[in-house]
A = this chain, B = another copy of it.
Amino acid sequence: MELTMEQCCERLENMDDIAVLCHRNPDGDTLGCAFALKYMLEQLGKRVQVKSHDGFPKQYSYMYPKSQPEFEPKFIVAVDVADEELLGSSMDKYKGKIDLCIDHHSSNKHYAKDWYVRNDNAAAAEIMEDVCAGLFGVKLTKLIADCIYTGVSTDTGCFRYSNTTAHSHAVAGRMIAAGCDFKMINRVMFEIKSQSRIAMEKEVLATMEYHFNKKVALVYITRDMMERTGALDSELEEIASMPRQIEGVLVGATLRQRDDGYKISLRSGEEIDSAAICGKLGGGGHRCAAGCFVKGNLEHAKKEILAVVGETLGYGEEKC
């Protein structure tokens, strides 16, 4: 059943030996919520384990405890998990047994026995501030503030994404007042780049081409480049947005070698419909971010995507 915040806190206060589950490929929000909750409940003398199908990525290590207690959990909580399927296969044993879900996704499947879902928040971590205030005798420590701030900052792209609200800022401000190390957190989350990512950026920038009076920028990533640099998939995501960040560029295209062709990611502003362009090559997506796949070699993939982009921009064929 759907709970009020008061009922949610009551459930937590009354239980012990608690497991807190993150979604797979854990990000700053699911980890921030889970560790914030662990440290709150530990103040009440409870045993708490945080669990993640993919372990704990090292860039979030400032949130982690030195060790976690081993026990058979009596109460299972999922945080920032919209659907049991998102837990990952190693969490299968908990499926159908989740007692409480705290989440901010409007797509939440209400799979838990009880849930508290507030979908007007950019980050689930914003809800955790109220959990902290609602649990009797629990103090907002610097470490809990670090966890909550991490969730808010990462889910809003450091307050840049359109999901950011006045409430996101209000929570972040209160976490700073509580002593969180926002400077270190944002440096780790948004400034530090791996050596493989830097190597890939160098290679990708070297492929940059402008077309149609510099209104279109195109880069590509071959299988060779992937192997040479060792860049991770998650790092390539951000590289795909590079061409669209150039002044005057209306459409950015990133071509990435895969199987027997190239996967093309298109990014644009609201004035160009990327989904419609990609639709012409059998793909789709959103107005400002869409994709398609073109079989064949690089030259062929470039020619195909530039033809449909040029058509949309009102340029004749072969004038790119």
Smallest CB separation, A149 vs chain B (Å): 10
In contact, A190 and B160 (Cβ under 8 angstroms)? yes
A:183-222 near B, CB below 8 Å: 183, 186-187, 190-195, 198, 201-202, 205-206, 208, 210, 214
**How many residues of A are in contact with the other chain, CB < 8 A?**
39
Interface residue A166 (Cβ < 8 Å from any Cβ of B): yes
Q: A160's contact among B165, B169, B187, B205, by CB below 8 Å, is which?
A: B187
Interface residue A248 (Cβ < 8 Å from any Cβ of B): yes
User: How many copies of this chain does the complex contain?
Assistant: 2
- Beyond A191-B245, A205-B198, A247-B192, is A166–B177 a contact (Cβ under 8 Å)? yes
Q: A176's contact among B158, B164, B190, by CB below 8 Å, is which?
A: B164
Q: A247's contact among B160, B194, B208, B248, by CB below 8 Å, is which?
A: B194
Q: Which residues of B contact A201 (CB under 8 A)?
A: 201, 205
In contact, A248 and B159 (Cβ under 8 angstroms)? no
Q: Which residues of B contact A168 (CB under 8 A)?
A: 173
A:139-182 near B, CB below 8 Å: 158-162, 164-170, 172-174, 176-177, 182
In contact, B169 and A165 (Cβ under 8 angstroms)? no
A315 to B25, CA, bound (A): 39
The 17 sampled A-B contact pairs (Cβ below 8 Å) are A158-B158, A158-B160, A159-B186, A160-B182, A160-B190, A162-B183, A164-B182, A166-B173, A166-B176, A169-B172, A194-B246, A195-B248, A198-B205, A201-B201, A202-B205, A202-B206, A205-B205
10 closest Cβ contacts across the A-B interface? Answer: A169-B173, A166-B173, A202-B205, A166-B177, A160-B186, A169-B169, A194-B247, A166-B176, A162-B183, A169-B172
